[in-house]
Amino acid sequence: MLWEGGRRGGGVEDRRGLGGVGLAGGGIGTIVVALIGYFVFGIDPTTTQQVISQFDTGTQQEGKAGTPEDRAGRFVDIVSANINDVWAAKVRGYAPPRVVLYEQGTSTGCGFGQSAMGPFYCPNDSAVYLDLSFWREMETRLGASGADFARAYVVAHEFGHHVQNLTGVSKKVQAAQQSAGSAAQANRYSVALELQADCYAGVWAANAAAASGGKVALEAGDLEQGMVTAKAIGDDTLQKRSTGNVTPEGFTHGTSAQRVEWLKKGYQSGDPAHCDTFGNP
C-alpha cells in the first residue's frame, strides 16, 4: 500500500506514553486472552458503552494534538486524513472524528477504554480509539495480516461506525435492538451494523487513490491481505478458536465469509449505497 506521500491532518490526538489510568489488574495479556473473541475489532457502539463504563475512573486524559512523527503514528494520521477526504465527498455535512492513540487504557466519552477491547469507536465523543499494540495481538494471536492495508482496513472499519453515527443508522439500530424480542434478534442487528462498517471500509479503499491523487493507494495483493484479516476476525473463526464450537445466535460481527464478502462488495462498488446489510443481507 502506498501512503507515505499522503496529506497529514487526520485529527490525531496522541496519548501514548501517558500511562493507563486506573487500569484493571491482571495485565494486558490475560485481559486480551479473556476478551479477545468478544471485543476484537471493536464491539458495536451500543454495547461498548455498557461494558467499558464498568471501568470508568472519571479521570480525563488529554494527549498531544497534531502530527505524530513515528512511523505508526504517521500511518494512522495519513490514512485517517485520506478516509476523511473520501467520506467528505460522499456524506453531506461530514465532520471528521477525533482519532485517539493510546497505550493500555484511557478515558473516553464512553467510559474507560482499554487496549484489550481492540480498536473501537465511541459515538458520545465522536472518536476512534486505537491502541497500536493491538495490531500485533491480532497478528500474532489471531492470524490477521500485518500488511499496511490490513491495518488500514481496521481503521477504516471504525470510521465506518462514525459514518453510521452521522447518518443516524447507529441510533436506529440501537432502538431496534431495544425492542428486539430476543438476544439472537438483537445480535442480528449488530451483525448488520458491523458488516456495513466492513463494506464502508471497502468503499474507502476503492476511493483512496482518487481522493489523494494516487498518493494513498492500494497495490497488487493488498485487498487479499485485507481479506486475510477479515477472515481471521469472523465470529465463527473466533468462536472456534476460543471454545471449539460455533453458536450462530451469539454472532455479533458476522462470519468470516460474510466479512470478506462485504469488504469486497464495498471495494468493488466504491459506493455506500451498495452497503445495505440490513435490507439485503
The residues of the shown chain that bind Zn ion, judged by CB under 5 A, are 42, 194, 197
Shortest Å, Cβ 194 to Zn ion: 5
Shortest Å, Cβ 68 to Zn ion: 24
Q: Is the dihedral of CA 100, 106, 112, 117 positive or negative?
A: positive
What single DSSP character describes residue 109? Answer: B
Element of type H or E holding 111: strand 111-114
**Rounded (10°) CA dihedral 175, 179, 184, 187:** 0
Query: Toward Zn ion, which CB reaches closer, 6 or 254?
Result: 254
Shortest Å, Cβ 4 to Zn ion: 27
Place of cell 477504516: 156
Shortest Å, Cβ 118 to Zn ion: 9
Query: Toward Zn ion, which CB reaches closer, 165 or 212?
Result: 165
CA–CA separation, 245 and 230 (whole Å): 19
Query: Toward Zn ion, which CB reaches closer, 28 or 117?
Result: 117
Query: Toward Zn ion, which CB reaches closer, 212 or 229?
Result: 229
Query: Toward Zn ion, which CB reaches closer, 131 or 194?
Result: 194
Q: What backbone torsions phi and psi does residue 86 show, to the nearest 5 degrees?
A: -65, -45
Shortest Å, Cβ 45 to Zn ion: 8
Pairing state of beta strands 12-14 and 98-101?
Answer: parallel
Query: Toward Zn ion, which CB reaches closer, 210 or 228?
Result: 228
Helices and strands (H and E) in the chain: how many: 10, 7
Give the three cell numbers for residue 145.
495480516
Nearby residues of 165 by Cβ (< 8 Å), 6 or more positions away:
45, 121, 123, 126, 171
Shortest Å, Cβ 61 to Zn ion: 23
